[in-house]
Chains A and B, each alone.
Chain A
Amino acid sequence: MNRNNRRRYASRTSLGVMYALTVLALIPLGLVLWFTIAKGLPSVIHPQFFFNSELPPCEPSCPSVSDAGVGHAIVGTAIMVGIASLIAIPIGILGGIYLAEYGIARWASWVRLACDVLVGTPSIAIGLFIYAFLVVPFHHFSALSGAVALAVLMLPIVARTAEGAVSLIPNGLRESGLALGLPRWRVSLQLILPAAAPGVITGALLSVARAAGETAPLLFTAFGAHILVLNPNSPMQALPMTVFRDALLPYKSLQAQAWGAALVLIIMVLGINLVSRWILRRQIALAGQL
């Protein structure tokens, strides 16, 4: 009996320890959110923060911190992630359809492995690759090359999530399409893809969120800028680069700006994540009704 009590005690203790470790794992999330909000909010509450561009370091006699802004970086992120999406999302969706509809082929399992490996490839290496591939031949940094680097990052995410969404569609839908004499491409693109749309959109959104937060692949491609640039053929600033460069500088005004940019970034990225989760949950609820 004594021994059994000890066993029960050991079991309860270990369960308690595991619950404690679970709480411990969530603490960093709370801390990151709290400090980013607390330190970023003072910069973000000035409307100029969203419209003005960066001020050069000016301590100790700054005109006013509130005149500085990251408008150029927000626009830059939007342009580069936009171009990257235009490249990566269509290609990724077609790749995902291939993996889902013809996934039994031997080659498809290689494509799948390549996707998973590419997701895990260090983004800085992708930056180096695009530098060698697009920056060196054209002799200048450009937002366009940054966008291509982001597209390389997004492509495998879009493909794998699209695969997951498409393969969830019941075979009955495919069969009824084929039975009506529709060619395969119409079945896939006009029947299956619309039915799988919420899942596919979720994957695309997640890849956008990932690309919007990436710094490393942009360092040697988009390079960065201190002013608002709209021409995709010239160097451009992005929000993560603002955080990275300003946070490491010894000027208080720029550090505050970096925290503000981090707050904008985190709201954007977590917002996209929560929205896509909501879409996915609705899709699952709908599928349950079918």
Chain B
Amino acid sequence: MAVRAEARPVEVVAASRPRDGFRSVVGVVGSLVPALLVLIVLTLLQQAAPAIKQFGLKFLIDTDWNPVTDTFGALPAIFGTVATAFLSLALALPVGVAVAVILAEPGHTRIRGIVGTGIELLAAIPSVVYGIWALYVLAPWSYVHLEVPISEHVTFIGWLAAPATRSLFNAALVLAVMVLPTLTAISRDVIKAVPRGMKENAVALGATWWETTRRVILPSARAGIFGATILALGRALGETIAVTMVIGNAYVIPHSIFQPAYTLASVIANEFTEATGTIYPAALIELGLVLILVTLIVNVIALLLVHSTSREARLTA
């Protein structure tokens, strides 16, 4: 108790007061946020009810999406969402961790500050600007300089064939740029939180910079970097506009990553305003429900991981 009083004297004062009306007011206002989250999920659940009743669990494994015959299956959209997200992380992770390691190094504060600001500005650019850039600049470039050469040289792998300008791969490419700041910012903080003593011990034992980084710093920051990766995964899963503009919007499970595909969020963005009847909009909202539940779970796991490592670091520091 004595320790706690020292850390937070205000708490003790507050606790000794019989009633704190202000606390109730701000508490209720703060509670709006969790209430909103619950309300969002419940509202989507209620709106999706007709589709859930009609299709049941088959909705998740059916591949057909036909508003004319009112048959709806989510599998191609789920596949596209998961594939773009994982592919983008595979592209962004090495770069993100490298930038985090460089930014967490001591010295050259000014240059590191500028680089850090640059990466953070990457997060500030609106998704739709990435979209128009990807559509007119990145995708045509990637088609000529990445997709075509790769598919020509690696003919024996089927899922690297048949390049197209608007493709799952190009969507993943722009997503990789978009999730990079999330990855870098959190990884840098986690790497910085590694106790200095550990690094100094390694250096004192004669380890080189790379040996220190690879065998001491990265292993002790591992859980936090993993958390950052999952957080970035959540962002990549939910990203809508930029992906919609370059993925090609084909409701199929593509046989190659260089072919057009579709994601949960893009289907909703493209079709929702035109959806008529009861089942069609309900099916689209059910896609939204699937998306929000998946990102919710992914985010909670990631946040718990990141928080537990930063707490650990604080305890050991």
Q: Which residues of A contact B (CB under 8 A)?
A: 7-8, 10-11, 14-15, 17-19, 21-22, 24-26, 28-29, 31-32, 35-36, 39, 91, 94-95, 97-99, 101-102, 104, 107-108, 110-111, 113-118, 120-126, 128-129, 131-133, 152, 155-156, 159, 171, 174-175, 178, 183-185, 188, 209-210, 212-216, 219-220, 223, 240, 243-244, 247-248, 255, 258-259, 262, 265-266, 269-270, 273, 277
Contacts and interface: CB of A to CB of B under 8 A. Distances in A.
Given A25-B180, A213-B128, A213-B129, 5 more contacts: A25-B119, A113-B300, A121-B296, A124-B265, A273-B121
Given A128-B44, A219-B269, A265-B129, A108 B30 contact: yes
B37 interface: yes
A121 B40 contact: yes
B148 to A, nearest CB: 20
B130 interface: yes
A18 B213 CA distance: 11
B129 A262 contact: yes
Given A120-B299, A213-B127, A132 B47 contact: yes
Interface stretch (B6-14, B54-62, B151-159, B191-199): B6-14
Contacts of A107: 27, 31
A98 to B, nearest CB: 4
A125 B124 contact: no
A178 B22 CA distance: 14
Interface centre among B119, B127, B245, by most chain A C-beta atoms within 10 angstroms, is: B127
B299 A117 contact: yes
A231 B300 CA distance: 39
10 contacts: A110-B34, A115-B33, A122-B265, A124-B265, A129-B40, A178-B10, A184-B23, A213-B125, A244-B241, A269-B126
A128 B267 CA distance: 13
B273 A220 contact: yes
Nearest to B122: A29
B260 interface: no
B209 A184 contact: no
Contacts of B138: 31
Q: 8 shortest A-B CB distances, which residue pairs?
A: A213-B126, A122-B238, A11-B208, A98-B26, A185-B22, A98-B30, A114-B34, A21-B98
Given A17-B98, A129-B44, A175-B10, A117 B300 contact: yes
A118 B124 contact: no
A159 B33 contact: yes
Interface in B263-317: 265, 268-269, 272-273, 284-285, 288, 291-292, 295-296, 299-300, 303
B250 to A, nearest CB: 15
A160 B124 CA distance: 17
A216 B240 CA distance: 7
B14 A120 contact: no
Contact of A98 (B21, B27, B95): B27
Contact of B184 (A25, A91, A184): A25
B210 A247 contact: no
Nearest to B132: A247
Contact of B128 (A121, A133, A223, A262): A262
